[in-house]
A and B are shown apart, each in its own frame.
Chain A
Amino acid sequence: MADVTIIDGDTFRQMISAASSYLLDNKERVDALNVFPVPDGDTGTNMSLTFKAASDELGKINSKKVSDLAQALARGALMGARGNSGVILSQLLRGFGNETDSLESLDGAALAKCLSGAAKMAYRAVIKPVEGTILTVAREAGEAALRAAREKNDVLHVLTKFLNAARESLNNTPKLLPALRDAGVVDAGGAGYVVIWEGVFKYLTGDLKAEEKVTVDDTTVFAGVLSEESIEFHYCTEFIIQGRNVPQVDLKDYLGGIGDSLIVVGDEDMVKVHVHTNNPGLALEKALKYGQLMKIKIENMVEQNREAVASGKAAWSANTGAVEFKSTPKQEVEREVGIVTVATGEGITEILRSLGADKIVAGGQTMNPSTADILEAVENCPAKNVIILPNNKNILTTAAQVPSVTDKNVFVIESKTIPQGIKALLSYDPDISPEENVKSMSEAIKEVKTGEVTFAVRDTSMNGFQIEEKDIIGLAEGKIETVGKDVSTVVKELVKKLVDENSAILTLYFGADVSEEAANELLDELQEEYPDLELEMYNGNQPLYYYLISVE
């Protein structure tokens, strides 16, 4: 490596311009890392625009003094600062500029002083400096630069040590900041800072001309986010979700949207996921909603491709080229309170799950689960306290047996219908005590009225109605209120009995024996009849009941 002993004004202009283009060309990759402080994915964009504004400022002055130029750079950054990362960058440049004092040019020692001064200023300017961010990267790299300058007063030597330390520090950020660790990424701002100085380094070593467009490189710390045109999705992302009732279809839809080579396999409590994506963080975040993650493995396929060729130059993770966070293999975290409920029908089950039900025992009107069935669900529910929602009058008594046969603290809420169960779950708050939950959930049940539309299994006389086998019957709060031959007509009659002037929402869950068209047609007719009500229709896919109706 040739010695570059000093940076003069012309060199400074050129290296900044080169670095600016380099950052601009790599901004999307920085964006993709952005999860902290707010995961809005614009760190790279903001930093590159800020640095561009700073770089453009150099064009407005004629001086050949590095100090004049560095201070102009800081001024430009300050005016053009965009977003939080841009503002911090402006302070790094401000610190850098302050240290140039009135120097004509920078030697290795002066450069080191500027790099270290940059970090000091940024720490002072930020309200609450957080470690594991661009601040840490700038500070640790700045300290390394000072040490390097004492070894040898040479610009490239200082810059090499600075960059190595910056990469190492960047690689360490997930250990310092849980948000990064959880998303499986390094800090976006830190990455952006490394890219800038790498651009400078490349310019000084002749790898990069000012304004030259370079996006592919094999020597960069940024390998983790640099692309090889042939590989569209860079990260082979694998993990296992251990959770409760993981909705595989949703997961597939979502992951299919952010990547390819998708594999989602397993059962509802354990799902293995494999996806190639540019947003492993997003994949992990989505998965986290459904349970805890294990065996997380994220590999940079571009880097893997390259490893055979590249001779071990610093990569994102210097040793492996892959970020691998092993989660401690532990039991599913036992929570304070969990929910066991009883239902049939995919749609109904999915709704209950989405509202926080941990275990759903298959069962209902003609299919009462045994105490053992419910007990098993309670035992498997990952919580010390378990609330049972039986959702059926006949199952109440079965559920009531459970508390006496388990060591867990079990509460039974007297939900007699599915709509009551759903209503109770709406008030469920996993963050408060089981007793408080039982209270608010039991209260909530009183605010909903239930209608059920099914058919008669035999001729009978009940509640003043003469009923023939196969007649369509409508029940309000468990009592037969209307009988007819046509499902939609019975629904309308029943709704009439359920709705009063205090009603605001009418929700219908159509069953397995009703077509979506018929359901939507009925919905339109009801909406016409009740223009002031909010109407909602869901595919409950439940057997036996054509419609389950809730009025709130």
Chain B
Amino acid sequence: MSKTVIVIDSTADLPESLRRELDLHMVPLNVHFGTEVYKDQVDLDSKTFYQKLKASKDVMPRTSQPSPAQFVDLYKQVASPDDRILSIHISSKASGTIQSALIAKSLLPEYNIEIIDSEGLSIHYGMQAVEMAKLAQQGASVEQILEHRKRVKESIEVCFTVETLEYLHKNGRIGTANAFLGTVLSIKPILSIENGMVSGVEKVRGRKKAVKRLVEYIVDKMIDAPGQKLYLGIVQGDAEEEADGIEAELRAIFPKAESIQRFDMGPIIGSHAGPGTVGIIGYKL
């Protein structure tokens, strides 16, 4: 019997347990520290990554998209030509990962592969994949799954703050948040994702205020949800304590939320956002 298989890449920042539970198959991107190369979330986990990041101050980690061959191999391994593969990936504006996936598709003409640009990063993208997987497990059709993905994406609100914009800047992934650069005062930016790129929301003085604003931002967008189910997620990279605080606050404000999940920001997104990044995502269905 033919099945629907969902393929993701490692920038979705979904833990292995969840990927296994939801049958999500992952292609890792690569993290480079100088000449060392690691497969993201395969031979480098978040914790080790942030330790390395701190230890190797002079070497900025670099990242690279998976090769087309990695996709070819995974597609062949998880599906047969009778199956349908839905391959959803990190925003094409932030990474060439989709490019590799598309080439893999062109190399496998006998396979039934749909490539989807999530226009998201980290769990903004990850949650789209999670929702698709939930439906796939319920036996929904490809059309239903894709339709559902669209709804989820349209409903998603996301905001995050970084300890410093230096990382986003150095890696060239700063998008329209560029205007937030170059100030003398220690400004903490409130950032979001718009059209597949990082965008600036506002400038805040001080880390605590920034974290407070994140919660306000999401509460403001999510509080009005008549008859809808509310899903919240918190993602952090080396900002565990702040994420704890946010979680406690969200649980108090949204006691009826369908789920409030925690995620670790993985090495790839972490390379670009830097340590001390924390963000909140919310959507209602």
Contact = CB atoms under 8 A, between A and B. Distances in A.
A and B held together in a complex: yes
Interface in A30-48: 38-40, 42, 46
A354 B185 contact: yes
Given A90-B103, A125-B106, A536 B185 contact: yes
B30 interface: yes
Interface stretch (A78-86, A102-110, A268-276): A78-86
A46 B206 contact: no
Interface string B68-108: 11001000000000000000000010001011101100110
A504 B209 contact: yes
Contacts of A124: 106
Nearest to B169: A39
B88 to A, nearest CB: 15
B171 A289 contact: no
B206 A422 contact: no
Given A81-B67, A430-B179, A505-B206, A127 B99 contact: yes
B185 A538 contact: yes
Nearest to A352: B184
Contact of B208 (A40, A289, A430, A534): A534
Contact-residue bracket for chain B: 35 or more
Contact of B184 (A80, A91, A351): A351
Nearest to A81: B67
B65 interface: yes
Contacts of B182: 289, 354
A126 interface: yes
A350 interface: yes
Given A354-B185, A426-B187, A538-B185, A127 B67 contact: no
A86 B179 CA distance: 31
A429 B186 CA distance: 17
A528 interface: no
B206 A534 contact: yes
Interface in B237-254: none
B62 interface: yes
A507 B173 CA distance: 31
A354 B184 contact: yes
A178 B111 CA distance: 39
Interface string A92-135: 00000000000000000000000000000000111100000000
A90 B212 CA distance: 47
Interface string B254-269: 0000000000000000
A505 B64 contact: no
Contacts of B184: 350-351, 354-355, 538
Nearest to B204: A426
Contacts of A350: 184
A87 B99 contact: yes
Residue from the set B67, B203, B206, B212 with the largest chain A CB neighbour count within 10 Å: B67
A186 to B, nearest CB: 18
Given A504-B206, A505-B206, A552-B209, A83 B183 contact: no
A504 B96 CA distance: 41
A80 B183 CA distance: 41
A83 B64 contact: yes
B29 to A, nearest CB: 10
A517 interface: no
Contact of A426 (B64, B69, B172, B203): B203
Nearest to A85: B96
Interface string A55-98: 00000000000000000000000111111101110110000000
A351 B67 CA distance: 46
A355 B182 CA distance: 8
B205 interface: yes
B205 A505 contact: yes
Nearest to A422: B185
Interface in B27-50: 30
B224 to A, nearest CB: 23
B185 A87 contact: no
Contact of A90 (B68, B186, B204): B68
A431 interface: yes
Contacts of A87: 65, 67-68, 96, 99-100, 103
Interface string A423-439: 00011011100000000
A91 B67 CA distance: 11
A329 B65 CA distance: 42
Contacts of B186: 536
Given A91-B103, A127-B99, A426-B205, A42 B187 contact: no
A82 B30 contact: yes
A78 B71 CA distance: 10
A81 B68 contact: yes
Contacts of A536: 185-186, 206
A40 B171 CA distance: 5
B68 A40 contact: no
Contacts of A422: 185
Given A289-B182, A504-B208, A538-B184, A80 B103 contact: no
Contacts of A84: 65, 96, 99
Nearest to A34: B172
Contacts of A126: 99
A78 B173 contact: no
Contact of B209 (A40, A431, A505): A505
B179 to A, nearest CB: 7
Nearest to B205: A505
Listed from nearest, the 10 A-B pairs whose CB atoms lie closest are: A84-B96, A38-B172, A505-B206, A81-B67, A79-B69, A39-B172, A354-B184, A534-B206, A83-B64, A354-B183
15 contacts: A38-B173, A39-B172, A78-B68, A86-B67, A88-B99, A90-B103, A355-B184, A422-B185, A427-B202, A427-B203, A430-B179, A504-B212, A534-B206, A536-B206, A552-B205
Given A87-B99, A289-B182, A351-B185, 11 more contacts: A38-B172, A78-B67, A78-B107, A90-B68, A127-B92, A351-B184, A426-B187, A427-B203, A431-B179, A505-B206, A538-B185
